[in-house]
Amino acid sequence: MLLESVPNFSEGRNAETIAALRSSLETPGISILDVHADADHNRSVFTLVGDPAALVDALFAGIRTALDRIDLRRHEGAHPRLGAADVVPFVPLLDTPMEEALRAARSLGERVSRELNLPVYFYEEAATSPERTNLERIRRKGFEELRDAIGSDPDRAPDLGPAEIHPSGGAIVIGARGPLIAYNIYLNTSNLAVAQAIAKMVRHSSGGLRYVKALGLDIPERGCVQVSMNLTHFQRSAIHTVFEMVRSAAEAHGVAVTDSEIVGLVPAAALLDTAKHYLRMHDFALGQVLELRLLEKES
């Protein structure tokens, strides 16, 4: 049973605090695959993998460190945030069912509300009502706004924990979701309008694929434009479906796809689905991939 978690902490500048967060998270059974600290956003994002129980322990330790070291009353940064430990999603890997991610989210939520006295909101697959599915809908204008509203506006009452924010640490949003894939497709044109038209066609908000967010962007250093996307559910809106839609739309505009890229990490299944599709391998199982079988044996 493997889960990934990608906790976001509201500190992207102080190297000592980032190192302290890291060492709290680095507990037995946990692999830290990536650390990304952003000074503009004043925010750091860790990518952890482990079994559910080990992950909950590691994240609890990380959240406690965030509360000890980060004071939101003195925090500035471009990114909206509600808490010192701001957002903690759990993501199932390999054949782990979503229910395991949800269970881990609930278990961490209960523990931080009880032991750290933090207000907890659950989002995405862990949401307690449809309105709480969306992270932005929970976070709204952030810490300063929630401080006033949490006790008075019933719509902002936490799912667990006290109906007042932690003075320095705010609140925390914990969830379960599928993996996010940042996927970009480059076109052999510098005409931004073409990328924007294709982005509009492929994205959910304007009639495209259900689990695709897309923007057309100019990439001056490459002298071309890009369709920049977030794929939020690759099992339903697959990478190859997105690629073929963009390729065909580009052709219709008289331009071509030069290449595509995945930014950051991607779960193996997303690209194996792509290979299965093009090779017409209807019966292929993930367990046939040697390295994945090895990982399942070890975990």
Measured CA distances, 37 to 11, 15, 22, 46, 94 (Å) = 8, 9, 11, 9, 27
Burial 262-279 (b: 16+ CB within 10 A, else e): eeeebbebbebbbebbee
Q: Which two tokens stand for residue 281?
A: 């391998």
- The count of residues interacting with a second copy (CB under 8 A) is 44
The verdict on 298 binding a second copy (CB under 8 A) reads: yes
Give the residue with the Cβ less far from a second copy, 48 or 67: 48
The verdict on 295 binding a second copy (CB under 8 A) reads: yes
CA diameter of the chain:
60
Q: What is the C-alpha separation between 115 and 151, in angstroms, rounded? A: 20
With CA atoms as reference, report the closest residue to 11 among 116, 89, 84, 80: 84
Q: What is the C-alpha separation between 4 and 91, in angstroms, rounded? A: 5
The verdict on 274 binding a second copy (CB under 8 A) reads: yes
Measured CA distances, 177 to 61, 73, 103, 233, 240 (Å) = 22, 30, 12, 9, 21
The verdict on 163 binding a second copy (CB under 8 A) reads: no
Give the residue with the Cβ less far from a second copy, 39 or 275: 275
Q: How far is the CB of 91 from a second copy (least distance, A)?
A: 9
* Residues known to be catalytic: 79
Q: How far is the CB of 89 from a second copy (least distance, A)?
A: 14
Pairing between β-strand 85-92 and β-strand 172-176 as defined by DSSP bridges: parallel
Give the residue with the Cβ less far from a second copy, 131 or 259: 259
Question: Residue for token digits 């995945």?
Answer: 262
Q: How far is the CB of 210 from a second copy (least distance, A)?
A: 20
Question: Residue for token digits 């930014």?
Answer: 263
The verdict on 262 binding a second copy (CB under 8 A) reads: yes
Q: How far is the CB of 34 from a second copy (least distance, A)?
A: 8
Residue of 13, 22, 64, 293 interacting with a second copy (CB under 8 A): 293
Residue of 94, 149, 197, 215 interacting with a second copy (CB under 8 A): 94
Residue of 74, 136, 207, 297 interacting with a second copy (CB under 8 A): 297
Q: What is the DSSP string of 122-163?
A: EEETT-SSGGGSSHHHHHTT-HHHHHHHTTT-GGG--SBS-S
CB 179 within 8 A of CB 238: no
Residue range at the interface with a second copy (CB under 8 A); choices 57-65, 71-79, 129-137, 285-293: 285-293
The verdict on 268 binding a second copy (CB under 8 A) reads: yes
The verdict on 79 binding a second copy (CB under 8 A) reads: no
Give the residue with the Cβ less far from a second copy, 194 or 250: 250
Residues in region 37-66 near a second copy by CB under 8 A: 47, 49
Give the residue with the Cβ less far from a second copy, 217 or 268: 268
Q: How far is the CB of 252 from a second copy (least distance, A)?
A: 18
Distance of CA 139 to the CA centre of its chain: 15
Q: What is the C-alpha separation between 55 and 63, in angstroms, rounded? A: 12
Which positions lie near a second copy, rule CB under 8 A?
Answer: 2, 4, 31, 33, 47, 49, 93-94, 179, 239-240, 243, 257-262, 264-268, 271-272, 274-275, 278-284, 288-295, 297-298
